[in-house]
Amino acid sequence: MRYLIALILILFPLVGAADDWEDRLIFNEGAKGAHLRVISSTDTVLFAPLIESFVAQYPSISIEYLVSGTADINRRVRATPEAFDVVISSAMDLQLKLANDGFALPVEDVQVPSWAQWHHSLFAFTFEPATIVINRAAFEGQPIPQTRQGLIEALRKRPEEFRGKIGTYDVRQSGLGYLFATQDARASETYWRLMEVIGGLDVRLYCCSGEMINDLADGTIYVAYNVLGSYAEVRTEGKDALEVIFPSDFQTIMMRTAMISEVTQAPEAAEQFIRFLVSQNPATPEGHSPLPFLRSDTDMTERETIGLNPALLTFLDGLKRQKFLSAWENAVIQ
């Protein structure tokens, strides 16, 4: 199964993508029923099993899965909302603003906790913490830091070894990176100190979690800050070299959200897809699922995650964003 997807992933760019998508894949091609265009920030390798089980359940629906960055998704949906039926993104703030601005179609009676949905139009379906991923080799004989403060100390202790070997999101490009950064900054001053430290060590800036983990794996960098736990778990599987740290001082937990475009061509199929997404159980019968789905039956609470409420609009305000980015640039790009 995974090999098949890998094969498709390798072959697909050769077939030729009309648009400059990170990835573009059609499932159940040639089905007679509705054609769903899903734009998503989630890598195909993580999402494909889910879509396959969806089309197995609804064989008449075909799905075109388009992958792009969170900021790009936001731009594209605002520019041509009619070109997409379902929008999935990890940037909760951008998604909430889309919904608030009227780009989402409300769906009634979707079985999610009230804190995992907004205005009946934006639905959270995963639970993904931001993590620190390190290359064990760089910490040989040293204690592995468990907190941000611990990381600061480790970096300060051996600055020359880590120079140019630290990676994090370029918050100017990545919507998710910006969301993590703003939430970190809200949670603790430690964030700014850490940014200053890694800024002083010539931090490498990335657009996406995937690239960061690739560079970690091949030793280009030793430490990646604010990498998505779900990606890290998949990539570190079978690689003892990498370790995923869930910082114990405070965790920033993102929920992947989905919504239906207000001008969708296939509202019924899109609604079925949304209901299918939120009904996923973390323990799928086929075994381990790469995406950590929300569980409504556990004691998982709203408190742990980034709140899905209008406060997310705050850092998207033009003036506020300008101020935040200039502070970030001051700290990171020295």
Partner 1 sequence: MVPSPTVSGSLRNRLVLALIGGAAVLAILLFFTVRSYAAKVAQQGQDNILVASVASILDAAALREGALEVDIPYAAFSMLSTPSDDRVFYAVFQDGAFMSGYDDLQLSDGPEEEQWTFHTGEVRGERIRQVSARRTLVGLGKQTEIAVALGQTQDALSDTLDQISRNAAYLGLGFFLLTAALSFWVASTTFGQLNRLTMSVTRRGPQDLSPFKKPVPKEMAPLVLSLNSLMGRLDQSLSQSEDFIAEAAHRVRTPLATVRSYAETTLHRVERKENREALRAMVRAIDESSRAAGQLLDHAMITFRADHLEREEIDLVDLTRELVQRLTPIAEMRELSLSLTGEPSVPYSGDPILIQNAVRNMIDNALKYAPADSTVEIDVDTTPGIQITVSDSGPGFPPDEIDMLTRRFERGQNATGTIGSGLGLTIAQDVATAHGGSLVLTNQQKGGACVILSL
Residues contributing to the site for partner 1 (CB under 8 A)? 100-102, 114, 117-120, 186, 307, 309-315, 317-320, 323
Residue matched to tokens 């091949």: 218
In angstroms, give the least distance from the CB of 323 to partner 1. Answer: 6
Beta carbon nearer to partner 1, 313 or 325: 313
In angstroms, give the least distance from the CB of 38 to partner 1. Answer: 23
**In 3-state terms, the chain is what percent helix, strand and coil (to 5)?**
45, 20, 35
In angstroms, give the least distance from the CB of 112 to partner 1. Answer: 12
Beta carbon nearer to partner 1, 84 or 123: 123
In angstroms, give the least distance from the CB of 7 to partner 1. Answer: 43
Beta carbon nearer to partner 1, 132 or 278: 278
Q: Could you tell me which residues come within 8 angstroms of residue 201 by beta carbon, excluding any fewer than 6 positions away?
A: 155, 159, 162, 163, 164, 165, 166
Beta carbon nearer to partner 1, 106 or 219: 106
In angstroms, give the least distance from the CB of 49 to partner 1. Answer: 31
217-253 as b/e, with b when 16 or more CB fall inside 10 Å? beeebbbbbbbbbbbbbbbbeeeeebbbbebeeeebb
Beta carbon nearer to partner 1, 15 or 319: 319
Beta carbon nearer to partner 1, 93 or 215: 93
In angstroms, give the least distance from the CB of 154 to partner 1. Answer: 30
Residue matched to tokens 């995937």: 210
Query: Tokens at residue 262, please?
Result: 């207000």
Backbone φ and ψ of 34, nearest 5°? -65, 150
Neighbouring CB atoms inside 10 A of 279's CB total 13
Helix (H/G/I), strand (E/B), else coil: 279: coil
Q: What's the rounded Cα separation, in Å, for the pair 223 and 103?
A: 38
In angstroms, give the least distance from the CB of 304 to partner 1. Answer: 17
How many residues are present in the chain?
A: 334
Beta carbon nearer to partner 1, 114 or 298: 114
Q: What is the DSSP string of 214-236?
A: HHHHTTS-SEEEEEEHHHHHHHH
Q: What's the rounded Cα separation, in Å, for the pair 104 and 77?
A: 10
Helix (H/G/I), strand (E/B), else coil: 42: coil
